[in-house]
Structure 1
């Protein structure tokens, strides 16, 4: 059974009120949704997850699960299951005993407990590991054991706190795929915390971007990437981040992949002289660093040129580059918030 989760005007303070880890956050998580809480270290995302779980109590505001306020209720009563970064497996117990452990307080017969554990292990492809101890497992296998231990309780909500952070880059990519397919199979509402934007973009049905305890933007991955709500989101999401060029009290933003040699940009466009300092070759792309003049005045930017753009771009020289007008985004120079488009001189290519 999948359920909805909602937080309403949630505030969580520490240190006698001097530290506000969650600052008036409101959001609703839809039934069966995979919501990712994304932000830098210390932004409040893990505190928000722990407050939903019942491991922290809100200073004010409400947590609702399936329409009922659950403030003060322990995690087991909330029917949530949390997987931590460390996995928190019992080293002296077998995989089977680790998975069975959360069922012991439910006073189920041993055979029924083990049957549920074997079902969860089979679903996650670790049924052949049930007799092993955690020290005999790889990082990816330990992660699956932690998921099986959470799944066996048939929770209404999964809460995952950076469960892939201890894996190497190659294993992390495959584990992301496994996590997404697993959640789609079971259909359980899932809240996932990460500081890794690749995980957020790859896993989330929607992404909630947080900073300094505040919710900065909530939306689908493509929406957050294409139309950031403010300069924090614009520069936190994307690698390389969005370029921001000052112009008449406004910041003009554009993604590095949209700054291209002028010959490759058709339609209504803004042209600029791009003085190239250096070039990095990464995974078939070229990251071109330099100074642009024309969109704004002498501002350092990055262009990302795909392998299909073979134009010669030489460090130490200036080249005509351009950006489609519809790829430009505008932000208030003081507040950093998204603003209405302003006129930028354009040419038709």
Structure 2
């Protein structure tokens, strides 16, 4: 296990006209599972590749285990990286793929096979060691790539969207396996994804990136419940956070907190919702409509669980409410989190 830290990291392309990483300072604690989350082009993969030594920063430093490794090649950084493509040798068996880095390092045959069988057993692929990659499913190939990384005894695992080639059902089970795998080994892990479900399910902490900068870093529940800005508020959550203009601010609330007024107790803000349509998804009702009470007319969505059976009729205005403690406030000019204000209602 090792602490991984980047300090004021900058990575420019195209003669300085493109800032893929723009002054990022971030640290992953020893044994932590840190997820880099953001949309395509936000800089998360470039950041991971710079930590790995596959890209050299324009400025700033990378530290692993307290030592500056900026400028060192990947093999000198005691890291192991798993790519989206898995990068398995098609002509080699699973066993040969797993032992390849150990063979390249000069480890004797008996020891490298012992380590390979240990890793395969941990990942449940010991019965596949004599097969070739073309005989494996996507999930099995992913496990082989992880086993090949494990046998190197790295201080840090770097995972670049390793589940993106799997179907939705397999991705859900693979997330569980990845989490257990990391907990069993206790190795510092940095994981890149654009999938918020993966980030929320895997990360001890999430760092949300946009345009080469870290917008917010923290435990998943904190990032979801108390976003630092409107980008985080609307990027995380499905449906995303509702934002309504009000007196120089944006008032935000999650769709699951917008409920029929009769089921909301305590201090609350009422919201007359002009309903135009509904969707039924996995037992929830998504209610879409327009709010005109607070400032201008704004589209919002409410997510009602199956336990709330209040009749909702499209084409009519219904009384909804949000618990006051669930409201979040943002500066309408900068999008940054702002001090709360009291709303009547």
- TM-score bracket for this pair, using the shorter chain length: over 0.9
Q: In the alignment, what sits opposite 2:80?
A: 81
Q: In the alignment, what sits opposite 1:214?
A: 213
Deviations 1:197-247 (A, max 9, x none): 000000000000000000000000000000000000000000000000001
How many angstroms apart in 2 are the aligned matches of 1:210 and 1:204?
Answer: 15
SS across alignment from 2:88? coil
Deviations 1:239-274 (A, max 9, x none): 000000001110000000000000011111101211
Superposition pairs for residues 181-192 of structure 1, below 5 Å? 181-192=180-191
SS across alignment from 1:47? helix
Alpha carbons 1:271, 1:295 under 8 Å: kept: no
Q: In the alignment, what sits opposite 2:57?
A: 58
Is 2:213 the partner of 1:193?
Answer: no
Alpha carbons 1:243, 1:254 under 8 Å: kept: yes
How many angstroms apart in 1 are the aligned matches of 2:271 and 2:170?
Answer: 42
Is 2:32 the partner of 1:33?
Answer: yes
Q: In the alignment, what sits opposite 2:299?
A: 300
Q: In the alignment, what sits opposite 2:254?
A: 255
Q: CA deviation at 1:143?
A: 0.2
Q: CA deviation at 1:116?
A: 1.1
Q: In the alignment, what sits opposite 1:276?
A: 275
Unaligned ranges ≥5, structure 2: none
Q: CA deviation at 1:297?
A: 3.5
Unaligned ranges ≥5, structure 1: none
SS across alignment from 1:23? strand
Q: In the alignment, what sits opposite 2:14?
A: 15
How many angstroms apart in 1 are the aligned matches of 2:94 and 2:294?
Answer: 59
Q: In the alignment, what sits opposite 1:4?
A: 3
Moved more, 202-211 or 101-110: 101-110
Q: In the alignment, what sits opposite 1:344?
A: 343
SS across alignment from 1:76? helix
SS across alignment from 2:48? helix
- Aligned pair count reads 345
Q: In the alignment, what sits opposite 1:227?
A: 226
Q: CA deviation at 1:119?
A: 1.0
Alpha carbons 1:161, 1:193 under 8 Å: kept: yes
Q: CA deviation at 1:135?
A: 0.4
CA RMSD, Structure 1 to Structure 2 (Å): 0.7
Deviations 1:9-61 (A, max 9, x none): 00000111111000000011101000000000000000000000010011000
Moved more, 189-198 or 119-128: 119-128
Moved more, 185-194 or 100-109: 100-109
SS across alignment from 1:121? helix
SS across alignment from 2:40? coil
Superposition pairs for residues 118-157 of structure 1, below 5 Å? 118-157=117-156
Deviations 1:90-125 (A, max 9, x none): 000000000010112221111111111111111111
How many angstroms apart in 2 are the aligned matches of 1:241 and 1:224?
Answer: 13
Alpha carbons 1:295, 1:344 under 8 Å: kept: no
Q: In the alignment, what sits opposite 2:89?
A: 90
How many angstroms apart in 2 are the aligned matches of 1:101 and 1:324?
Answer: 57
TM-score in terms of structure 2 length: 0.99
How many angstroms apart in 2 are the aligned matches of 1:35 and 1:247?
Answer: 35
How many angstroms apart in 1 are the aligned matches of 2:74 and 2:17?
Answer: 27
Q: In the alignment, what sits opposite 2:112?
A: 113
